[in-house]
Structure 1
């Protein structure tokens, strides 16, 4: 009776491309008087989204010199894949989690990105 042992070398593992997370970059332009409400609304959404499948992490960045910046805030988040992100956003909207943000006058431009060039 013969037995075949299959092993995976490090080289073979390197052949399988590693799936990097997708990056959400969402710049926001808001009215300066709405900063507090905007930040509260963002926190509501972030707390919900962090419970969703595929969420990895998020951070809200604020411009150091908002008077010179086109956007006062930049939301940066990592997601496992675009489908999980879309499902989470749909669920958030359906449950009214983003209501506070939706009521504020603002512009946002959410887009998902993946690494294209890296050094």
Structure 2
């Protein structure tokens, strides 16, 4: 992505995907920040994925091996927002952070 307008549009889309409404809650980007940021646009023609759930499906002889097998659950969660030390004490937590907490709960 080469044009500044296209870069900014992409960054807004990425930001709002993770934290809906956050782009408009944030200050505008500085020119030096925009210049220092690169965005790569990739056209995807085909995507394949393999998804399964449950325990491993091992061959019977594998059950005799001295190797751990199992499932390691991975969770994504949004924790309690921690304000920067320079944020005014009465500054409310923005709606985008509250929305993200609900989204990832």
Larger radius of gyration: 2
Structure with greater proportional strand content: 1
